Each structure stands twice: as C-alpha cells, then as structure tokens.
Amino acid sequence: MNKNSDSVISEEEVDKIAEGEMLDEARDVASSLELTLQQVRTGSLDGKTAVDRLVQNSSNLRFKAKSVNIPGLAAITHRLDEYLGGLNDLEAQNITDLQTYSDRILALLDGEAMPAETIAEVVRSMPHKSTFNVEDIEITNTEVLLVIPQKTAGKVVARELEACGYRVTSLTEPLEAITMALETRPDLIITSMVMPRLGGADLACALKAMPSTRRIHVAVLTSLSSDDPAMLALPMNVGVIRRGKTFGDDLADVLQKFNIT
C-alpha cells in the first residue's frame, strides 16, 4: 500500500515534467533554426529553401512558446513569425536579423531571465518586418497592435499603417492581445468591434481597467452605428475608425487624437 502511494506522481510534478519536455522540444527547434542560418552562410543551403525551413521552425516555436512559462518568449516568436511572413529569399540583412532572433530565443530557452520591466523594451527592439522600401518611407519606433480576426481586413489596415512608417503586429485572437499588450506595450491598439468570444468593447474595457495597460491608446474598427449598444459600452477616450470610404480619414483622426506620429 505504502509502496504504491510512494510511486504516485503529483499533478504539480506531472506539469513540471510536461513543461520540461516541451522546453527540450523548443530547444531542438531553435537549434534547427540556428543550423539553417549556418548552412546559408556556408553556401550549403540556398536562401529560398532556407526561408521555407525557417517558416516551419518559427511556426513550431510559436506553438511551443505558448506552453512554457517564459516571459517574453511568446511575443518574440510571434514577431519572428511575422518577420518571416514577408520573405521569399534571404539577404545579408535578413540573416543578421534572424541571428538576433535565434540568439535571443536560445538564451531564453537556456534559462536567461528577462526582468519584467525590460520585456517590452527587448521585444520592441527585435528586428521588424518591412513591406516597403526603407528609402520610400521613414520608419518610426511607433508600435501598433492590430486585433482583427479577418486576415484580409487585417492586412489592409496593416499596410495603411506600415505605409506611414509604423511598426505593426497583427493578431486574430483577442485574448492573445492582452498578453501581447502586457509584453510589448504598444503605442496604439486597433481592434475590431465584432469578434468571437471577446468583442472589441470587452477588450477595450479590459485594457482600460487594468493599471498596467490603461495608458495604452485604443481604437475600434467598426461599421456599427454610434447608437449601437456595443458602441455605447466603449470606455471614454477610445478612438473609432469606420470601415469603408472614411477609413483613411478616421485613421488619420485617431492618430492625431492620440498624438501618434
């Protein structure tokens, strides 16, 4: 009887074992990312093939990052995912940028602690994707977080913002946006009003209610009328961007209202 009870593993120990296994798997994937970069440098792997491998590794890392308790890791792997999303080949600057991601991810997985007060600064300093020629626009350090479930609509809004030189991070899940906001402290969050599970008004209320995020500017993207009950539930000082013909003007008004340049 005692022998059997001694062999029972507690729920806490099971969770610890599972997280350890997930960490080991994440390290393996991160090491594969590092190996791919080395192969490109030595010429044993072409850039286009390397991008395909890196995209797969990045996607795996992002999934595993959600299962381990490492502050900042999920936000950094999300940024890596987005950075790779616009690449078809690798140039010298891309390799340098991707090495920065690889070094930071491996350091976190190996136990390097990132103080809570520096997470946003570190995440925001990571290389960011650019869909425009840097000679055509002036890139700013202004961070905008988009929370739009419809990917096509999200790309349209992102492109408008990137054309203004803003650094854009896109999410489709409103619940994930809360964690991302805490870890990146964006200058502006633009969220759809109508979303599954958690609507834009709910997300705006949650962000404005928490001391750690209440100073982040929030705007909603909507086609609802001003007297719609959901619109009336919005907190004070939340911007409104209408879908359709006035989109560009509304976006400009919101940026001016919050003094985002």
Average pLDDT, the chain: 88
197 φψ region: left (φ > 0), alpha (ψ -120 to 50), beta (else): left
Q: pLDDT grade, residue 187 (50/70/90)?
A: very high
CA neighbor of 204 nearest in space, from 180, 176, 239, 160: 239
What six digits make up the tokens of 110?
């190996």
pLDDT digits 0-9 by tens, 94-111: 999 999 999 999 999 998
pLDDT at 139 over 80: no
Q: How far is CA 65 from CA 19, 39, 58, 200, 247, in A?
A: 10, 25, 10, 26, 35
Which pLDDT value is given to residue 128? 84
Which pLDDT value is given to residue 176? 92
Which of the residue ranges 74-83, 151-160, 197-206 would you say has the lowest mean pLDDT?
151-160
pLDDT at 211 over 80: yes
Which pLDDT value is given to residue 163? 85
Span 10-32, mean pLDDT?
Answer: 83
CA distance 53 to 40: 11
pLDDT digits 0-9 by tens, 162-176: 888 889 999 999 999
CA distance 87 to 48: 9
Cβ proximity of 188 and 258 under 8 Å: yes
Q: pLDDT grade, residue 41 (50/70/90)?
A: very high
Which pLDDT value is given to residue 35? 95
pLDDT at 2 over 60: no
Which of the residue ranges 1-5, 36-40, 58-62 would you say has the lowest mean pLDDT?
1-5
Q: pLDDT grade, residue 205 (50/70/90)?
A: very high
Which pLDDT value is given to residue 130? 62
pLDDT at 153 over 90: no
Q: How far is CA 14 from CA 8, 74, 117, 200, in A?
A: 10, 23, 31, 37
Span 148-157, mean pLDDT?
Answer: 89
Strands 188-192 and 143-147: parallel
pLDDT at 6 over 60: no
Cβ proximity of 124 and 88 under 8 Å: no
Which pLDDT value is given to residue 136? 57
Domains, the chain, with CATH or none: 10-125 (1.20.120), 143-257 (3.40.50.2300)
Which pLDDT value is given to residue 184? 92
